[in-house]
A and B are shown apart, each in its own frame.
Chain A
Amino acid sequence: MSRLKLSGISRSFGAIRALDGVSLELAPGEVMGLMGDNGAGKSTLVKIIAGNYRPTSGEIRVDDKLVEFNKPIDAQREGIEIVYQDLALCNHLTAASNVFLGREPTRRFGPVSIIDYDKMRTTSAQLFARLKSETRPRDVVRRMSGGQRQAVAIARTLLSHPKIVLLDEPTAAISVRQVAEVLDLIRNLRDQGISVILISHRMPDVFAVADTVAVLRRGELVTSKGASESSPEEVTGLITGAIEYA
């Protein structure tokens, strides 16, 4: 069974062909490292999987069922959650408020319904504990480290018990110690049976956690194979074009 199966996904923006016939498969609990140069189409691919963009052509299957996503909520209903490249957090709000943003639980008192902050704090504390992160629900995001912000963004995705989590460049702008933290977060997801697609520029990060690696070059998938059957050297060659396909 494949958790996610893409067949012949293409996407154009006007004259730009961002993706060209991409097909790949992701198993349950598998971590896939998705790599490629700037502009190779990585963000476009995960945004198609997350329902932000519609593919120009091609099919998406979740658990072997053909699906069609018009909006992010459609993908969320199929258990797909995404952490965007720039994280999409509100700096002035607390961790708990960010985890629940747009999905705040409320309590009714007659005609007024108020936000249930207790429930938000309790649930997000549990999620942070699950991720083994030291982030605290009441902390304001503006004052957090990069690793803690990632934990908030990932905790957001766990709220709906996802099957697939897409991470777009989670280790791009953070310190080495925080990178280790984020890689642990990814391992935690995998241990819970969640499939992960990890986009990263950093070869060591990918090979540290990924079961399979996939490489995009100018919108084309040039490889998709087990991480143990590949190597950082091969991937580098594939990204630059020194190696055509593998």
Chain B
Amino acid sequence: MSETLEQAIGQAQHRNWLSRMANLQVFWVFIAAVLACLALTFMTDAFATERNLFNVARNFAFVAIIAIGMTTVIASGGIDLSVGSVVVLSAMTISVLMEAGNPFWLSALLAIGVALLVGAINGVLIAYAGMPAFVATLGMLSAARSAAMVLSNNKMIWEFGPDHDILLWVGGGSTFGLPHPLYVLIALTIVMGFVYRWSRWGQYVFAIGSNEEAATLTGIAVKRIKVTIYMFSAFTAGMAGILMAGWLGSVTTNLGTAMELTVIAAAVIGGANLNGGEGTALGAVVGALLIEVIRNSLILLGISTFWQGMFIGTFIIVAVSFDRIRYART
């Protein structure tokens, strides 16, 4: 009996092929990105240069950082359309504050604070007022960008006061040859990979996305957790906003426009299930990587970047049909 109990604990009837299936999407997306990189290395001289790889790494990091926040929202059965607007609001907050002579750290903290506030409003509207996530965050997409315009009087800001160089170093600099946003991304990926798997909060994110009513019946504080999920999503967008301000060296009110679509695409391509209950931090990163590699390859191959949307759209549809196929077998 004790032996069979041990066996029961150790085994799972469907574990092997199920875990293979679950990992399939991330795996294949990664393979696709690697193949695209290899092809580009042979087809163009420009791809495998240090400068280009540096640019790719930095560019994809911004989308990937927010895609981790988005994956959390999607895994909980929601959606956050406001991230692009939170990017500009956060970037504008830090710019305006620094231009007025405030130190970098204080301004960055306040920018993150503003982002968290936006996330909290989203979360309260969704969890407590019972609004569909799509509607609440669509409203916020409009409102947050408008707030950024009001804040800056719709002017471009390119002088960041006494800590100007610090901001540019944080967002645009590099250490040991790697761009700083990439370090932020790596740290976030490791932390969230751990949180998803090992924390109660992570477990509840997936439980809510899987069966919200069940989560409520078992006594999980579903509403409170939902608020924190949207706050986390806004936090990632706020952080990306600060980094992008430093990278670009100037901030205009159209920063981050339509970014939510790229971010959602990255999350979905990376295996986040729009019906909730599934998603990984690594998947978000790999999804974002694939999108950036496609964008980069179009430029290097001299193909019009107007084609980019076509490729991303195709990948989204392929990614979602992966889900369908998986469910059909269930």
Contact = CB atoms under 8 A, between A and B. Distances in A.
Interface of A: 72-73, 84, 86-94, 97, 101-104, 106, 112-115, 121-122, 125-126, 128-129, 136-140, 142-143
Interface residues of B, number: 31
B5 interface: yes
Given A102-B220, A125-B9, A140 B215 contact: no
A106 B199 CA distance: 9
Contacts of B129: none
A122 B210 contact: no
Contact of A101 (B8, B12, B199, B207): B207
Contacts of B14: 139-140, 143
Contact of B1 (A84, A103, A129): A129
A112 B200 CA distance: 11
Given A101-B207, A126-B5, A88 B200 contact: no
B211 A72 contact: no
A104 B214 CA distance: 15
A187 to B, nearest CB: 19
Q: Is the interface of B mostly helix, strand, loop or mixed?
A: helix
Contact of A138 (B5, B12, B220): B12
A89 B199 contact: no
A86 B209 CA distance: 17
B8 A129 contact: yes
Contacts of A87: 214
Contact of A143 (B209, B278, B330): B330
A128 B11 CA distance: 14
B175 interface: no
Nearest to B326: A142
Contacts of A86: 213
A101 B214 contact: yes
A140 B214 contact: no
Given A125-B5, A129-B8, A140-B14, A88 B213 contact: yes
